[in-house]
Chain A
Amino acid sequence: MSVLVPRLEREAAHQIISRKRDMSIAELSGALPDLSPVVTYSALGSPIAREDLVTLRRRVVDLAREHGFPGQPAGLAEFEGSCARVLRDAVQVTPHEASHEEVWSYLTCCWLLDVALWRFGGAADEKRFIGNVNRNTFRRLWWRAEILGPDIDLKRLGEDELANIMERPTIAGDRRLAKAIAREFLDRVDSREVGGRSEVGQRMQLMREAMKRLLRLTPFVAFSALTHDELASLVAETFDASQEPFGRRAAVAKYEAQAVPDPSPVVTRIPSLSISRSSDESEMPGTSDVGRDFEAVSQIALDVARRTGRVTNMTLREVVPLTSQEARDVLTGLVSRRALERRGAKRGTHYVIPHGSETGGSRTRPAESALRRLLRRAR
């Protein structure tokens, strides 16, 4: 069973923060951990051992000391990059557990409030101390390490650069994409295509521009379905376009025919009939059967509509092996003959028998026999 962290309700966290945010760091450190609040746990799992929390606090405080704690903070990007790894290593919970606000409220308010106040100051937004998804001092660090994994050096990414990746759910939700972006960005920084480490403005500009372009693609590209190479190439192409000088049009990417993967073994073919609306034997010799097929399928469509109150492209195809275009032709033909009325739109499109029309414009009702004929022909 997985490890559970105690949970501190928002109101209790709010009270602790209100009470302690104006205390001095030294005074606060002396009063931690605060084990007095009432806490709860998730129903299933084993509560985290007290010694593990003691170790977590010791490691985070030691790291903070290397960066000026409890005095003036220095090298915060390095502190946060290292702290993210310490948190991920020491708080071995599942992403499910780590996605609860109360877990991070507990760790912050009851064990690490002095470090959080040192990092952001007593006047900071309360969300830095309550377990807010993007703002909590430690929650955001844990998730950076979780999503970007051990291969990305978090110390080399600035706060704005990390926020650009992590605060966009469509990007951060796909670990592979988030890592590909971070890796591509750092590679470009390394190759000095962006300028030196001190050129913060250029770096920020590149990351923001690239993220804008990637986000524009998210509604119509299945990033997670791309192969590793395709994804890396798409991200690189986006960064290339983002680095084009302003006013210069980025080169339009060319998509060549790719190597086509073989069909998966689970794919099966559905036998299909070809039908035509024409019954003019002089124009299309040998198509008289096809013309009759069209009429027979039309009768089937009318029969489905009579029996069930409506017929759709899909329900017609469930009865007769047709393509969606053929089914559409049949239904459109019946609408033009006023045997059916079209209702709804797009995926809600369906067809009904018009009021006052018992037979839908036809006195014959050969549905079953027509269906049998069609199925025989399919064989």
Chain B
Amino acid sequence: MRTPAALPYLLPPDDAVTAEPWRTIDGMEIGERLEHWDAFTDVELLQVLTVDVDAIREACGLGADSALALSAQWHSDRTRLAAEGEPVELGTLGGCLRAPVGLTVPGASAGGRLELQARLLLRSPGRAPSAISPRRPGALLWTDRQQLMLEGGAARFPISAADFASMPRFPASGSWALEWSNEELEAPVLGSLRLLVNSGDASLLEALRSGSGDVRAGMVRTFVTFDVARSLVHGALGNERFVEAPEAYDEGTVGRMLSELLGACWPGIPMSALQARFVEDPSRLDVELQAHLGLLR
């Protein structure tokens, strides 16, 4: 077990600072995992702290002219990067103070497990600190740590932005295209299947970004989801080899993903029966898929 560092100066009692839970800027309390995070999502977080600065000065042997500050820091164990939020200066105020500390965690620099730290630190020791008071500017007097998982949740569908205007096989005003082959079912999903979204359509790109709660964005996502699922279902049922042995594919392959998709949409129905339905009554299959996906509900 790691021995906690023994700090070479007086510290305040732990309860001299009270930390409320970390929240998103719209007030939602965060848990241990942040849903819908991806490397394009910047996370803005706030934590409200209540500080009994008189008790802190007394316990640390600091005078009324000593200055304190609050700050917050994030650290990602994936990128091993850390950064500080804007410090909140408490100056030489006395009494009991309340203030929020904030952090913006850029998605491009984060990932994995995030450690959020709220800290009370010394800005200035004042003119007459005691011999064993904290003196160094930046000395940590109190720290609160919380872990937040950013990755490891639901798998995301592979999406790339592509300029359709520079791709001769697509019309420049097209919106999206699913690139895959229903003949390469042993290939990994994250290597051989990709939804290309026309980068010339900024509003479409924005709509497909995770987390947007806009009504139009929701409609676009629903429609794209159905279109992609329909292409995959039709492609799967059009491959005889897949229909004969849908369970034969390894974890992470396109074949396994198709098998799980069809199993989730039509539980218990043999693949051969679905193939017959696909040939004889494809619109019924599409409507059943709509019902499963909860389209427009």
Contact = CB atoms under 8 A, between A and B. Distances in A.
A43 B140 contact: no
B77 to A, nearest CB: 9
A325 interface: yes
B95 A270 contact: yes
Contact of A40 (B71, B81, B191): B191
Contacts of A95: 79, 81, 108-109
B188 A270 contact: no
Given A39-B191, A225-B138, A260-B123, A173 B81 contact: yes
B52 A222 contact: no
Given A272-B95, A325-B54, A94 B84 contact: no
Given A46-B161, A321-B96, A325-B54, A230 B137 contact: yes
Contacts of B288: none
B75 A42 contact: no
Contacts of B88: 264, 266-267
Interface in B90-144: 90-93, 95-100, 107-111, 119, 121, 123-127, 135-140
B228 interface: no
Nearest to B210: A44
A349 B137 CA distance: 30
Contact of A328 (B13, B100, B108, B155): B13
Interface string A204-237: 0000000000000001111111100010001000
Contacts of A225: 69, 71, 73, 84, 87, 119, 121, 138
B5 A220 contact: yes
Given A45-B160, A99-B78, A260 B108 contact: no
B16 interface: yes
B80 interface: yes
Q: Which of A7, A266, A313, A346 has the most CB of B within 10 A?
A: A266
A152 interface: no
B27 interface: no
A96 B80 CA distance: 10
Contact of A43 (B5, B38, B127): B38
A42 to B, nearest CB: 7
Q: Is the interface of B mostly helix, strand, loop or mixed?
A: mixed
B75 A41 contact: no
A157 B38 CA distance: 36
B156 A260 contact: no
Contacts of B148: none
Nearest to A166: B80
Q: Which of A133, A226, A263, A321 has the most CB of B within 10 A?
A: A263
B120 to A, nearest CB: 10
Given A220-B7, A267-B88, A269-B95, A261 B123 contact: yes
Contacts of A327: 15
B82 A96 contact: no
Contacts of A219: 5, 7, 140
A96 B98 contact: no
Interface residues of B, number: 77
Contacts of B188: 38, 40
B217 to A, nearest CB: 16
A263 B109 contact: no
B170 interface: no
Nearest to B107: A96
A97 B159 CA distance: 15
Interface in B236-256: none
Interface in A171-199: 172-175
Q: Is the interface of A mostly helix, strand, loop or mixed?
A: loop
Nearest to A217: B136
Given A255-B135, A255-B136, A40 B190 contact: yes
A260 to B, nearest CB: 4
A241 to B, nearest CB: 13
Nearest to B163: A46
Nearest to B137: A230
Nearest to B58: A325
Interface in A307-339: 312-314, 317, 321, 323-325, 327-328
B93 A269 contact: yes
B99 A43 contact: no
Interface in A246-285: 253, 255, 257-264, 266-270, 272
A2 interface: yes
Q: Which of B80, B127, B190 has the most CB of A within 10 A?
A: B80
Q: Which of A6, A45, A95, A230 has the most CB of B within 10 A?
A: A95
Interface in A1-52: 1-2, 4, 6-7, 38-47
B82 A173 contact: yes
Interface in B179-216: 187-191, 194, 199, 205
Contact of A272 (B15, B16, B96): B96
A347 interface: yes
B50 interface: yes
A174 B82 contact: yes
A169 interface: yes
A166 B288 CA distance: 55
A261 B91 CA distance: 6
* The 6 residue pairs across chains A and B that have the minimum distance between CB atoms: A258-B124, A219-B5, A94-B108, A43-B156, A40-B190, A224-B84
Interface of B: 5, 7-9, 13-16, 18, 38-40, 50, 52, 54-55, 58, 65, 67, 69, 71, 73, 75, 78-84, 87-93, 95-100, 107-111, 119, 121, 123-127, 135-140, 155-162, 187-191, 194, 199, 205
Given A328-B15, A347-B14, 6 more contacts: A6-B191, A45-B161, A96-B78, A255-B125, A261-B69, A267-B93
30 contacts: A40-B189, A40-B190, A42-B39, A43-B38, A43-B158, A45-B39, A45-B160, A45-B161, A94-B108, A95-B108, A173-B81, A219-B7, A219-B140, A220-B140, A221-B140, A222-B71, A222-B139, A224-B83, A225-B138, A257-B125, A258-B123, A260-B91, A263-B89, A264-B90, A267-B89, A267-B99, A314-B18, A323-B55, A324-B55, A349-B15
